[in-house]
Structure 1
Amino acid sequence: MTYPGDAYQAVRGGPPLAFRFNVFFFMGGIVPNPLDIRFSKVSGLSSNIDTQSLNEGGQNLYTHRLPTRIQHDNLVLERGMAIGSMLVAEFNATMSLFKFNPSNVLVTLLDETGSPISGWLFMTAYPVKWTVSDLNAEQNQVVVETMELAYQRMQAIRL
């Protein structure tokens, strides 16, 4: 038995690897800053449908579960602290001035040649949390900033 992904995997040599990706912020139609496309980790690529249970009179074997709305986890981006980042300026404006400038965010998965093979578009994304790793004089570690975004909707893109 063959599955739709089998042809792709046979040509490409297996399922895609998760360590080749880019993140693009579409802020005001400006070309993305090279500092703001590279992250070490992306998480929160998920959504689920909430359901409501409905009991049918006289039916004791099961309960109807009806879909009500789609819920999305926050998009979480991690990277080494970047100096001169426009994205940091946007997060700073949100966190210090309560000024929101929602934008669309595209996460792309890349093949071994660097060409996009899949993606996820997050529409109307805005910052909801920003953390910087602990500063510790006893450890020789990179300062990591974590950026968390809420968004209106997620659209999976398969190329």
Structure 2
Amino acid sequence: MAEPILGMRFSVLFMAGGAVANPIDLRFRRVSGLAVEVETEAQPSGGCNTYQQPLPKAVRHGNLVLERGLALGSPLTAEFNASLSSFKFLTSNVLVTLLSADSLPLAAWLFMKAWPVKWATSDLDAGEPGLVIDTLELAYTRMQPMRL
């Protein structure tokens, strides 16, 4: 019987302009938004008033959300800041890879033409120690799941 797959080992790789990824920008504590759904439209069914037939209308997906500790000297943070400040958005492909305990790839999700839509930093609270977390949210044109 196969062991259950744990979702605690993963990597995130930004592929922009063929540049080598910065090691600071590979580490995230949480990734969410790995979903795609088919939007449907109800169609009346040939004179039968007891039900409607759902028909596929469009593929819809939410945003890719990445969380990590505040990273100083991060090229990704600099790029987010430049995009949101100048309102000029460069896209990049983002590869999220699920890893085994031996760091071997098990599955992956490729997010094509991703660009920043939200950047948030956790609240600062002098009364309670805690990590400062940056949340980076990306829109994208298409997601391609890959099972390895």
In the alignment, is residue 30 of structure 1 matched against residue 19 of structure 2? yes
Uncovered stretches (5+) of structure 1, i.e. residues with no partner: 1-9
- Secondary structure in 2 aligned to 1:96? helix
In structure 1, C-alpha distance between the alignment counterparts of 2:15 and 2:116, rounded to whole Å: 14
Aligned length: 148
Alignment deviations for residues 37-66 of structure 1 (CA, whole Å, 9 cap, x no partner): 110000011011101111134212321111
In structure 2, C-alpha distance between the alignment counterparts of 1:63 and 1:132, rounded to whole Å: 45
Shift of 1:140: 1.2
Q: TM-score, normalised by structure 2?
A: 0.96
Pairwise mapping of residues 89-100 of structure 1 onto structure 2 (< 5 A)?
89-100=78-89
- Secondary structure in 1 aligned to 2:8? coil
Match of 2:32 in 1: 43
**Bigger helix share:** 1
Match of 1:142 in 2: 131
Match of 1:130 in 2: 119
In structure 2, C-alpha distance between the alignment counterparts of 1:57 and 1:50, rounded to whole Å: 22
**Bigger strand share:** 2
Give me the identity figure in percent.
53
- Secondary structure in 2 aligned to 1:92? helix
Deviates more, 1:57-66 or 1:77-86: 57-66
Q: TM-score, normalised by structure 1?
A: 0.90
Uncovered stretches (5+) of structure 2, i.e. residues with no partner: none
Moved segments of 4+, more than 6 Å: none
Amino acid at match of 2:111: F
User: CA RMSD of the aligned region, Å?
Assistant: 1.0
- Secondary structure in 2 aligned to 1:87? helix
